[in-house]
Amino acid sequence: MTLDRSVLAFAGIMTLLSVALTLWVSPLFIWFTAFIGVNMLQSAFTGFCPAAMIFKKLGIKPGCAF
Residue 64 pLDDT grade (very low, low, confident, very high; cuts 50, 70, 90): confident
**In terms of residues, how long is the chain?**
66
| DSSP characters over 33-55 | HHHHHHHHHHHHHH---HHHHHH
Residue 15 lies in a domain: yes
Name the pTM for this structure: 0.86
Residues 56-60: contacts with CB under 8 Å, at least 24 apart: 56/3, 60/1, 60/2, 60/3, 60/6
pLDDT at 66 over 70: no
- Which structural domain, as residue segments, surrounds residue 8? 3-57
Per-residue pLDDT tens for 10-35?
999 999 999 999 999 999 999 999 99
Residue 63 lies in a domain: no
Residue 63 pLDDT grade (very low, low, confident, very high; cuts 50, 70, 90): confident
CA 29/CA 61 separation, integer angstroms: 33
Q: Total structural domains in the chain?
A: 1
Mean pLDDT of the chain: 93
